[in-house]
Structure 1
Amino acid sequence: MAGIYVDITDHVRATSQRQEAEEKLRALRDYSGLPCALLSVGGRIEQAGTAAAELFRTRLSDLVGRRAHTLLAATPDLRPLRRTWEGLITRRIRRAETSAVLLDTEGRQRRAQLHLSTVSGPVGRVAHVWAVVTDQSIAHEAHPPLTAAQIRILSLLAGGSTNAEIATSLKLSRQAVDYHLSRLRDLLGAETRPALIARAYVLGILAPRAWPPRPAATRDPLGSR
């Protein structure tokens, strides 16, 4: 009876390469000092480094097992981030650079650049996604909800516009601009124009490295900060 021989060389090579890649990623987690976590395709944190626990101001044991979406602030960045995640777990892409606003256990927010890469499982399916924080801003407290007009006024104010110029740019009356500025002083706890601008940057309302000034949430999520 003739025997049946199956060449498993390619399978063994692929398995070895996957194991080697996983070992390198574990080394990155343990020794690089970068905040990173291994996520299931359902978005649950299965492994994480101590730097990630420090970033979110929690214990490592409390971080592992948590749903990753609970660590993200509700910002316009979430929509493109969800599309990126879908692309990863459906194998349309293998890695991606994106950004998000992270939310720690004390309610403070910080914008971060994320490097996401897939880890293959059996029969080529995506088993996990490694998430590494490669850059991050200074943490800031959450700011009160502002209208689009109020945020635009802050941008123009930071650019040096007078009340009259703001009114002209936004096609508002001077009285409307004065009212919005008064409300902004109350909401942000700032009595003067310089203090109002400073608070807008400290709270992350305005993009810190953009000129002319613009809202932080409108930046390209893949762009540099």
Structure 2
Amino acid sequence: MPGDDLSEPYIEHAHNHWHPALDDLAAAFRADTVLRTVVADLRHVFMTSAQALLHGDLHSGSVMVGERQGAHVVRVFDPEFSFVGPIGFDLGLYWANALVSEERARALGALTDHGEQLRLSSEAFETEFRRLWPTRVDTFFDDAYLGRFLRRVWTESLGFAGTEIIRRIIGFAHLTDLTTLPDPAPASRRALLLGRELVVRRTELTSPDAVRDLVASPLG
């Protein structure tokens, strides 16, 4: 069923597996009613919000950036999981990938600016969306609504980023950024706790700076 990938990590399911050192967190997440309820809300958005044609598996490995005839060019490829859904899902997938890459770098003692991709991509998205806003077909959606809509996209994007991080650690398909570390457990724990915070605090984290502060915090 569509959306199962979002809910499977929070139930007993044959697809789920994880590093043995994460047994306690996997059990805690299954018993976390606050987390499960918010994930259920995000799953409902995923299943019912047909806002845009999405890539469906967006990460840094599916984006090419270059120049052609002096102009910047961005191309996204591998669209086999493409579907019509909530805009925040694609943004959330990309942010999850960037934030986990930063956790890998932290574990290796080589901090990078991977997490800054959240700011750059969110600002680029909002700038382009605002540029295109005057061309909308239904002008009943006014400029005041635009701000409300963009805030909702931001909030949903954070939530989907959190669910993706969790899914890729205690769900079915794991992230090599973590599994190939000499000791995957510490970075995986931090990433799981970060994922939970992004989900349950998605309405409190109102800016990229707030997310950066969260990423820099001890996280349990």
- TM-score, normalised on structure 1? 0.26
Largest Rg, 1 or 2: 1
Determine which structure has greater relative contact order: mean sequence separation of CA pairs < 8 Å that are 6+ residues apart, divided by chain length. 2
| Greater fraction strand | 1
- TM-score, normalised on structure 2? 0.26
| Greater fraction helix | 2
